[in-house]
Amino acid sequence: MKKQAFIKYHGIGNDFILIDNRRKDFQLSDKEIQLICDRHFGVGSDGLILLERSFGVDFKMIFYNPDATKDMMCGNGGRCIVAFARHIGIVKIKYKFEAPDGIHTAEVFEKLRRNKLNIKLSLLDVDNIVEYTDGQFINSGTAHFVSFVNNLSELDINTLGSKIRHDKRFSDIMGTNANFVEIIAPGKLNIRTFERGVEGETLACGTGITASAIAYVDRYNIQENPIIINAKGGELKVYYTKTPDNRYTNIFLEGFAEKVFEGVFFFER
């Protein structure tokens, strides 16, 4: 029998299994990753994240979807791994870490309570927004399609999201995440997201919220900053700078990350 220690975190309901892999002893197969992420037969999560050593920065983030696909950025996961790093002894105010899409920084702004931190995470610049008649495509660390809708609460997100996720327009990148956004006030949005790799709706998606904020600013020439976005799991803020040549830089995602519990998972072999 094999066992694996872990800690569970969430960022506004987007939940992750965090594992300290600085000794490089994590050796789970794709099937075992799928099992530990399973909500009925495992711990249950929207992803599994490894923290590893990385030369020149504080740590390296490796992210797996529940279906064991990897090599993509996760915004809420990025905030959760910073909280996890503090828990295992990497205690700083400002962090720099390596993720699948490059180098990110993060700052811990405040301790909301013992296991809950407010964290502001940098995301990479956005310089290419592809316009379609039914929405916008943006890569904010991973692929996202953004549609602006009415009556968001009434939509069948799993059906609509799955259709976009498998749309032939995105077949060369193995599909896209799908975000459905409703404008509720200037600078304020509601959002629901269908996530690739989870293959269903999640309570929040950090890179999806970021992509949706940038899509909103770009399409409607918005001046408000930050953009406040409410997902099912809670609220996040997206900060940005728009350049004269229509690029978006200094993008930050701010919100809380919270430790839920820790334990050991047993695999029968």
**DSSP codes, 194-262:** EETTTTEEES--HHHHHHHHHHHHHHHT---SSEEEEETTEEEEEEEEE-TTS-EEEEEEEEEEEEEEE
104/186 same-domain check: no
Residues 218-257 have pLDDT tens digits of: 999 999 999 999 999 999 999 999 999 999 999 999 999 9
Can you give the CATH number for the domain in which 153 is found? 3.10.310.10
Note the pTM of the prediction, 2 decimals.
0.96
217/137 same-domain check: yes
90/166 same-domain check: no
Q: Clarify whether 205 is annotated catalytic.
A: yes
- pLDDT band (50, 70, 90) for residue 2: confident
187/98 same-domain check: no
Residue-range definition of the domain harbouring residue 181 = 130-251
Q: Which of 205, 215, 236, 238 is catalytic?
A: 205
> Helix or strand or coil: residue 135?
strand
116/194 same-domain check: no
List all residues 6 or more positions away from 122 whose beta carbon is below 8 Å from its beta carbon: 104, 105, 106, 250, 251, 252
21/109 same-domain check: yes
The number of distinct structural domains making up the chain is 2
Q: Which of 33, 36, 49, 74 is catalytic?
A: 74
55/119 same-domain check: yes
Half-sphere exposure of 118 (CA within 13 A, CB side): 10
Q: Clarify whether 37 is annotated catalytic.
A: no
20/105 same-domain check: yes
159/89 same-domain check: no
Average pLDDT estimate for 170-187: 97
269 pLDDT above the threshold of 70: no
6/119 same-domain check: yes
Mean of per-residue pLDDT scores for the chain: 96
